[in-house]
Amino acid sequence: MLLKVKPLRLEAKKPIVILNKDDAWDLGVKPLDRVELRAGKKREIAIVNIAERFIKTGSIGLYSRVQDDMNAKAGQLLKVIPSEPPESLGFIRKRLAGNRLMPKEISQIIRDVVDERLSEIEITSFVISLYNHKMTMREAAALSRAMALTGETLDLGKKEIYDKHSVGGVPGDNTSILLVPIVAAAGLTIPKTSSRAITAPAGTADRMECLCPVELELEEIKQVVRKTNGCLVWGGAVDLAPADDAFIRIEYPLSIDPMLLPSVLSKKKAVGARYVVIDIPTGRGVKVKTAEEAEELANQFIELGKKLGMMISCASTLGEQPIGYAIGPALEAREALQSIDGTGPPDLIDKAVHLSSILFDFKGIKNSREKVLEILKSGKAEKKLREIIEAQGGDPKIKVADIQIGPKNVRIKSNTNGKVWWISNSAVIEVARAAGAPKDKGAGILFHKKIGDTVRKGDVLFEIFAEKAHKMNRALKIAKKSKFIEVGRRFRMLLEKIPARKEHEELFVLER
């Protein structure tokens, strides 16, 4: 069927066209079916949407991507032919029915995800099939490889590449900004890509952006690493494992994460990592609650790593309260700069030292812990951090006072004597985000007391910083309402009362 082009100037990643209902009927296609478009030698498979009035019979509406790909002009005629769904849809159906997939089937699916040839419904089905019938190691390895190979890769021309990843969940964790310079200062190569916060008050990329630019192109990253052995950049600016973005869009509203391991390791694979340390924060208030869970996850990472040609060590670390005292991009960047000489908060320093020494152990460096401490305290780590800042386009002489923090500031004091018994990660995250983090870089929380500290009535427990007055008000309201920090003379035993309700009876009546 020949149809006249109507450019829609709409953006969508997928190749979408809009047909009139009658033309679609003539072609025998339904919404989300595919058609092949032809003009001269150009060909493209597009996904069909259908309109009754917006597109007239005889016309075809083209989204910008399709128009560009076909180089189509308004009013030009396109040949439109019904097209079979991609072969990978068959593999998705097979997986949905509970069957396992072969490596080449998985790579075909990932290829079609990246090329945007599968609809939202179809990708959702694939993600849920992995959630319902857990992946085998063989599938996970194939998935990791396929995800790495369908994106950009960083080729530094050497084999010994080191890397670090945190499973996340604990606020204030700026370990990477210490670890990367330590490791690079020892002469090891560590091209670290990090994420921005999605549901947290700050990601490493958000923190680092207070010190220097983090949105570098692949070629620029190479230069930084060649010059300094390391980098601290935003992974989102380069297209490593792009299939992951499509999956995250689906996992996020459903609160499921069946691809955790391939998602992490495909990105490590894409930068050529050979030796990787994985931090698994463990405890109440983070994703991994118990030592047993941490061990199981660690063993899975190690096994999958082996299949991918990576040596992996994991560290289960205490995740029950924030790391350090600062929460929010600028406050954490300040804390990192203050800590890089080894004088920072003991928990942050301890964590950075342990994780760095695991990477040193891979290299066979003796007395790795002492070596790490020496690099920190001698100023070599700070020198390296400033080199990296400069190489990424920042000011190597940056001082703590140069990092702007929110002008609005409220100090919260204790109304009792006692000790800090616990701090709630989730409440800390909620308050810091309400104050404006990570979007407002200067917003966040600065703790004065942490678990185990002795508190006297009137002592400052923490400060909230914000850039805007209404966000400060919102943060204060939430801080007051939520169980944020517990100070008292002793542990309170009652957590919550759950009174009897008669509701259940009524529910069963509904059934009749």
- Would you tell me which residues interact with a copy of itself (CB under 8 A)? 9-11, 25-26, 28, 30-33, 51-54, 85, 89, 92-93, 96, 102-104, 119-122, 124-125, 128-129, 131-132, 138, 141-142, 198, 249-250, 252-256, 433, 439, 507, 510-511
- The rounded distance, in Å, linking the Cα atoms of 301 and 311 is 10
- Report, in Å, the least distance between residue 93 CB and a copy of itself: 6
- Shortest reach from residue 168's CB to a copy of itself, in Å: 17
Report helix, strand and coil shares of the chain as percent, to nearest 5: 40, 20, 40
Shortest distance, position 510 Cβ to a copy of itself, whole Å: 5
Give the shortest CB-265-to-a copy of itself separation in angstroms.
Answer: 16
Gap between the Cα atoms of 207 and 402, Å rounded: 14
Q: Which is nearer to a copy of itself, 85 or 344 (CB)?
A: 85
Report the nearest approach of a copy of itself to the CB of residue 452 (Å): 34
CA distance 416 to 337: 33
Question: Which residue in this structure is represented by tokens 């595919």?
Answer: 34
28, burial (CB in 10 Å: exposed 0-12, middle 13-18, buried 19+) = exposed
Nearer to a copy of itself, 470 or 483 (CB): 470
- If the CB atoms of residues 4 and 13 are measured against a copy of itself, the closer one turns out to be 13
Report in angstroms how near the CB of residue 184 gets to a copy of itself at its nearest. Answer: 32
In a 3-state reduction of DSSP, which class is residue 462? strand
Q: d(Cα 69, Cα 82) in Å, to the nearest integer?
A: 19
Nearer to a copy of itself, 139 or 387 (CB): 139
CA angle 271, 275, 280 (to 5 degrees): 95
Nearest in space to 48 (alpha carbons), one of 21, 79, 10, 77: 21
Indicate if 257 belongs to the active site: yes
Q: How far is the CB of 121 from a copy of itself (least distance, A)?
A: 5
Q: Rank residues 373 and 472 by Cβ distance to a copy of itself and give the closer one.
A: 472
Catalytic pick among 69, 245, 257, 350? 257
Angle value at C-alpha 399, between 394 and 400, nearest 5 degrees: 115
Alpha-helical runs (H) found in 235-282? 243-254, 260-270
Tell me the C-alpha distance between 172 and 332, whole Å.
7
Can you name the residues that pair with 466 across neighbouring β-strands?
408
User: How many Cα atoms sit within 13 Å of 326 on the Cβ side?
Assistant: 25
Question: In terms of CB distance, is 106 or 154 closer to a copy of itself?
Answer: 106
Closest approach, Cβ 341 to a copy of itself, in A, equals: 35
Of 32 and 260, which CB lies nearer to a copy of itself in the complex structure? Answer: 32
Residue-wise burial string across 115-139, b where 16 or more C-beta atoms lie within 10 A, e elsewhere: ebbbbeebbbbbbbbbeebebeeeb
Q: Which amino acid is at 22?
A: D
Tell me how far apart the alpha carbons of residues 460 and 333 are, in angstroms, rounded to a whole number.
Answer: 22
Backbone angles phi, psi at 241, to 5 degrees: 45, 60
CB nearer a copy of itself, residue 1 or residue 451: 1
Judge whether 65 and 10 are in contact, CB under 8 Å.
no
As measured in angstroms, the least distance from the Cβ of 29 to a copy of itself is 12
Tell me how far apart the alpha carbons of residues 224 and 49 are, in angstroms, rounded to a whole number: 45
Distances (CA, A) of 143 to 150, 239, 278, 296, 308: 11, 17, 19, 20, 11
Element (H, E) at 468: none
Identity of the residue, 139 or 332, whose beta carbon is nearer to a copy of itself in the bound complex: 139
> What backbone torsions phi and psi does residue 326 show, to the nearest 5 degrees?
-105, 140
Q: Which residues are catalytic?
A: 257
